[in-house]
Amino acid sequence: MSSARTMFEKVWAPHVVAEGPGGHVLLYIDRHLLHEGTTAAFGRLAKSGRRVRRPDLAFATADHYVQTSPASPGPDAEGRGMIESLARYTADQHIVHFGVGDARRGIVHVIGPEQGLTVPGVTLVCGDSHTATHGAFGALAFGIGSSEVEHVLATQTLWQKKPLTMRISVEGRLATGVSAKDVILAIIATIGAGGGVGHAIEYAGSAIRAMSMDERMTVCNMSIEAGARAGMIAPDATTFAFIEGRPFAPRGDAWAQALAYWKTLPTDAGAVFDREVTLAAADIAPTVTWGTSPQDALPITARVPDPEAVPDAGRRESMTRALAYMGLRPGTPLGEIAVNRVFIGSCTNSRLDDLRAAARVVKGRRAVVPAWVVPGSGLIKRAAEAEGLDRVFVDAGFEWRDAGCSMCVGMNGDLAGAGERVASTSNRNFEGRQGKGARTHLMSPAMAAAAAVTGRLTDVRALGA
Amino acid sequence: MQAFTRVTAVAVPIDLPNVDTDRVIPARFLRKDKNVPEYASFLFHDVRFNADGSEKPEFILNRQGFRGAGIVVAAENFGCGSSREAAVWALAAYGVRSVIAPSLGDIFHQNCFKNGLLPVILPADVAADLRRQLHAKPGLTITVDLEAQTVTAPEGARHRFDVDAFRKEMLLNGRDEIGLTLGYEAQIAEFEARRAREMAWAVPPRAGA
């Protein structure tokens, strides 16, 4: 079946404007999301006397540098300058901007889908590596650098070389207490932090199909932590139900036309991928990271690994370095590691499903370490409050904050201290990511909630959740 | 953009795999204008300097012979993580013109090309052997020749590398990519007109109201 095509191919091909040399194509971009960290590109564009070609396809919000609580130090003059520059540039160029004070403001990868901007079959870029999140809708979405942001603003296109394709199938049912975050951490541990380099990933299989859109976004979000710029999931009834009626979603005749087209996008039977990986859902347990790369992930029931047991010298050295940074000794049960604080938020895990999962664990218990909940958008915050989730968190001693990237990015004043150990629902446990010297353990919202109420890394299944 | 033809420079080996761009330039420096004179000091800042600003003697760029290196020979997946182009700006500000590795983070890889910095992919054993030679005698030079697509090792062996024709031409001539693309205006406009006819749903409704 030589005509069988992957979903990636079906989205890629209709966006080719022109063929260039060396296999490069000029790829059309349907959606360009902007945040205040990408304002330098506007400055360069203006300086070169070029204009924004399609302001109607660009959408902006402030998330990286914003203050998420009046109690936070908040952005300095330079951070505030970036937030103000974005507001000014977008006003000048007539670009829709969900700025400070707008309830729709939030993390760029949360509000794109929330506003109905993220739909199947489109190409979507943003100057942020977690743009793969939007692939959960069957869009081709990937992060770009500042020069590429400028290029898209000026031309609505990018020169791209077609990546290889990889299908990762997760088959079967996830056990109780196991979430989408555990699935993606298990995938990264399996293929490695560089396993997806040069590839666009399609996540497939019955466990993925059973997920809500919030869960699918968590999976696609961390594609870059496996090395892949893009991760996609086939659109289906779950996808369409999520999109229908959202402010920027197609409507009327356009909706009918879109729906008919979107249904043609899933990968054809017999289509060939450059690489196939299969995981059994039943093998995935609640997972935490112990090191300084997202691939350093193990079931909560495991122990801190011993570098001496690793044959490869390079790997041994990097593990030793990671354990020294993390302040951990080989052989320590992961469930005995005490934490200093808890962060529930980020573009990986700040959506309503995430907050509900955390609240189920927290209800009737008390946080014994400082714990924050940072909703992904103003609208999610509002929806959570309508369900009373804020009361659950506040009654348990958590801080209920405003939307933003907060303690995931280490650039807005929300920082963990040197040596502080954080149970975090974010996406990167790199050295210094949450603050200079801060030690990050990645996990699901339910697991982070469990750590908050026990003060240590905890198997959420032991709490009956 | 600065053109890249042929560079001979002191090369520094970085053995750690999966060096992320947060390590290359910590987040708190991303707000800085890339033209400030101290930009080069942001490179690897937190593993290169102590809190008081003094150098960490164990960090390789602080060691005799490697200081001021113009070529980095790295391990797998160098430049992974955040899309921050500032990672490339910091390398460029320090004077690095080429990064050689068995693999590079995809976004970092693209960002290099936009800043006159040549990313070179060589097999893992070749890169490891280059790093071994550099460790053995700090201060040795490597030559990266884009025209010939070769890396000349300190010990003299010449290794051929692949680079796609498009990126090669852009770098050799230091071409402005946006300027080039604006030359495709007719094709882009035609594409947009066709898309508006055939896939009207792909443009979001105005104001979302």
Alpha carbon of B30: minimum distance to chain A alpha carbons (Å): 8
Do residues A7 and A202 make contact, with C-beta atoms less than 8 angstroms apart? yes
What SS3 class is residue A170? strand
CB contact under 8 Å between B22 and A128, yes or no, is no
| Whole-number average pLDDT of chain A | 97
Average pLDDT of the residues in A369-387 = 98
Average pLDDT of the residues in A438-452 = 98
Alpha carbon of B70: minimum distance to chain A alpha carbons (Å): 22
Sign of CA dihedral A100, A86, B46, B39: negative
Report the alpha-carbon distance of residue A398 to residue A372 in Å, rounded. Answer: 6
Measure CB to CB from residue B18 to each of A155, A194, A249 and give the nearest one.
A194
CB contact under 8 Å between B32 and A78, yes or no, is yes
The pLDDT value recorded for residue A21 is 80
Least-confidence region, from A68-72, A143-147, A262-266, A369-373: A68-72
Percent of chain B with pLDDT over 90: 97
pLDDT confidence bin for A464, thresholds 50/70/90:
confident
Report the alpha-carbon distance of residue A425 to residue A187 in Å, rounded. Answer: 16
Sign of CA dihedral A181, A187, A193, A195: negative
pLDDT at A22 over 90: no
The pLDDT value recorded for residue A308 is 96
pLDDT confidence bin for A171, thresholds 50/70/90:
very high
Measure CB to CB from residue B166 to each of A22, A128, A197 and give the nearest one.
A22
Percent of chain A with pLDDT over 70: 99
Nearest-CA neighbor of B17 among A227, A24, A7, A357?
Answer: A227
Chain A residues within an 8 Å CB radius of B26: 410, 432, 436
**In chain A, where does the domain assigned CATH 3.30.499.10 lie?**
7-275, 302-463
CB contact under 8 Å between A145 and B81, yes or no, is no
Count Cα atoms within 13 angstroms, Cβ side, for B127: 26
- Tokens representing A129? 């590596």
Average pLDDT of the residues in A294-315 = 95
CB contact under 8 Å between B166 and A96, yes or no, is no
Sign of CA dihedral A280, A282, A287, A291: negative
pLDDT at A313 over 90: no
Would residue B195 count as lying in a domain?
Answer: no
- Write out the residue range of the structural domain in which residue B121 sits: 6-175
Helices (H), A378-463: 378-386, 389-395, 445-454
Would residue B109 count as lying in a domain?
Answer: yes
Q: Tell me: the pLDDT tens digits for A100-113?
A: 999 999 999 999 99
Question: Which residues share a beta bridge with B13?
Answer: B73
Chain A residues within an 8 Å CB radius of B199: 14, 257, 261
Residue A358 makes CB contacts below 8 A (sequence gap 6+) with A344, A373, A393, A445, A446, A448, A449
Residue A388 makes CB contacts below 8 A (sequence gap 6+) with none
Alpha carbon of A392: minimum distance to chain B alpha carbons (Å): 33
pLDDT confidence bin for A88, thresholds 50/70/90:
very high
CB contact under 8 Å between A143 and B107, yes or no, is yes
Cα angle, residue A205 at apex, residues A203 and A206 outer, rounded to 5°: 130
Chain A residues within an 8 Å CB radius of B60: none
Nearest CA in chain B to A31: B203
Average pLDDT of the residues in B188-202 = 96
Would residue B182 count as lying in a domain?
Answer: no
Would residue B170 count as lying in a domain?
Answer: yes
φ, ψ for residue A157, nearest 5 deg: -140, 170
CATH of the domain at B113: 3.20.19.10
Alpha carbon of A326: minimum distance to chain B alpha carbons (Å): 15
The pLDDT value recorded for residue A314 is 85
- Tokens representing A5? 């095509």
pLDDT at B209 over 70: no
The pLDDT value recorded for residue A2 is 61
Angle of the B106-113 helix axis to the B165-173 helix axis, nearest 10: 40
- Chain B interface disruption, residue of A197, A318, A407, most B CBs within 10 A: A197
The pLDDT value recorded for residue A1 is 47
Average pLDDT of the residues in B6-22 = 97
CB contact under 8 Å between A194 and B169, yes or no, is no
Nearest CA in chain B to A64: B27
Residue B173 makes CB contacts below 8 A (sequence gap 6+) with B3
CB contact under 8 Å between A28 and B195, yes or no, is yes
CATH superfamily name and code, A7-275: Aconitase, domain 3 (3.30.499.10)
pLDDT confidence bin for A243, thresholds 50/70/90:
very high
Would residue B117 count as lying in a domain?
Answer: yes
Would residue B113 count as lying in a domain?
Answer: yes
Report the alpha-carbon distance of residue A193 to residue A185 in Å, rounded. Answer: 10
Alpha carbon of A171: minimum distance to chain B alpha carbons (Å): 28
CB contact under 8 Å between A147 and B177, yes or no, is yes
How many A-B residue pairs are in contact by the CB < 8 A criterion?
204
Q: State pTM to two decimals.
A: 0.97
Do residues A104 and A377 make contact, with C-beta atoms less than 8 angstroms apart? yes
pLDDT at A255 over 60: yes
Chain A residues within an 8 Å CB radius of B85: 145-147
> Is A115 or A75 the better-scoring residue by pLDDT?
A115
| Whole-number average pLDDT of chain B | 96
Which run of H or E residues covers position A159?
strand A157-161
Chain B residues within an 8 Å CB radius of A254: 200-201, 205
Average pLDDT of the residues in A299-320 = 95
**Domains held by chain B: number:** 1
Strands A157-161 and A230-232 turn out to be unpaired
Chain B residues within an 8 Å CB radius of A194: 17-18, 76-77, 80, 103
Measure CB to CB from residue A82 to each of B18, B22, B31 and give the nearest one.
B31
Average pLDDT of the residues in B164-173 = 95
Average pLDDT of the residues in A402-419 = 95
Nearest CA in chain B to A410: B27
Can you count the helices (H) and strands (E) in chain A?
15, 19
The CATH architecture one would assign to domain A302-463 is 2-Layer Sandwich (3.30)
CB contact under 8 Å between A261 and B201, yes or no, is yes
Do residues A221 and A29 make contact, with C-beta atoms less than 8 angstroms apart? no
User: Could you tell me the CA-to-CA distances from A12 to A28, A31, A141, A200, B67 in Å, in that order?
Assistant: 9, 14, 11, 11, 44
Would residue B205 count as lying in a domain?
Answer: no
Measure CB to CB from residue B110 to each of A148, A194, A249 and give the nearest one.
A148
Do residues B42 and B25 make contact, with C-beta atoms less than 8 angstroms apart? yes
